[in-house]
Amino acid sequence: MNNATAKPLLEARAVHKTYKMGRNELHVLRGIDLVVNAGEFLALRGSSGAGKSTLLHLLGGLDLPNEGEVLFDGKNLRSLSGSNLAELRNRRASFIFQAYHLLPELNAIENVCLPGRIARRNIDEVMSRAEELLARVGLAKRTTHRPYELSGGERQRVAIARSLINSPDLVLADEPTGNLDSHTGEEIIDLLCALRDERKMTLLIATHDSKIAARAPRVIQLVDGKITNSP
Concatenated DSSP letters for 67-94? EEEEEETTEEGGGS-HHHHHHHHHHTEE
Give residue 2's pLDDT.
46
Count of domains forming the chain: 1
pTM attached to this predicted model: 0.92
Give residue 231's pLDDT.
44
| 185 assigned to some structural domain | yes
**Helices 182-199, 152-164: crossing angle, 10 deg rounding:** 10
Q: Which of 2, 28, 6 is nearest to 16 (CA)?
A: 28
CB 71 within 8 A of CB 35: no
Number of CB atoms found within 10 A of residue 62's CB: 16
Cα gap 197→212, rounded to integer Å: 16
| 14 assigned to some structural domain | no
DSSP state of 103: -
| 28 assigned to some structural domain | no
| 22 assigned to some structural domain | no
Please report which helix (H) or strand (E) contains residue 9, including its range: strand 8-21
Q: What values do phi and psi take at 56, rounded to 5?
A: -60, -45
| 180 assigned to some structural domain | yes
CB 72 within 8 A of CB 61: yes
Q: What is the pLDDT along the chain (231 residues), one digit of tens a residue?
A: 444 456 799 999 999 999 988 888 889 999 999 999 999 999 999 988 889 999 999 999 999 999 999 999 999 999 999 999 999 999 999 999 999 999 999 999 999 999 999 999 999 999 999 999 999 999 999 999 999 999 999 999 999 999 999 999 999 999 999 889 999 999 999 999 999 999 899 999 999 888 999 999 999 999 989 999 744
Q: Which of 56, 150, 167, 55 is nearest to 103 (CA)?
A: 150
| 130 assigned to some structural domain | yes
DSSP string, 136-203: HTT-TT-TT--GGGS-HHHHHHHHHHHHHTT--SEEEEESTTTTS-HHHHHHHHHHHHHHHHHHT-EE
Give residue 21's pLDDT.
84
Residue 102 lies in domain: 39-56+82-227
Give residue 6's pLDDT.
66
Count each helix (H run) and each strand (E run) in the chain, helices first: 7, 10
Buried-state track 159-195, b at ≥16 Cβ within 10 A, e below 16: bbbbbbbbebbbbbbbbbbbbbeeebbebbbebbeeb
Q: Report the CATH number that the domain containing residue 160 is assigned in CATH.
A: 3.40.50.300
Angle at 15 (CA atoms; ends 22, 2), nearest 5 degrees: 150
Give residue 19's pLDDT.
92
| 221 assigned to some structural domain | yes
| 164 assigned to some structural domain | yes
Angle at 97 (CA atoms; ends 96, 98), nearest 5 degrees: 135
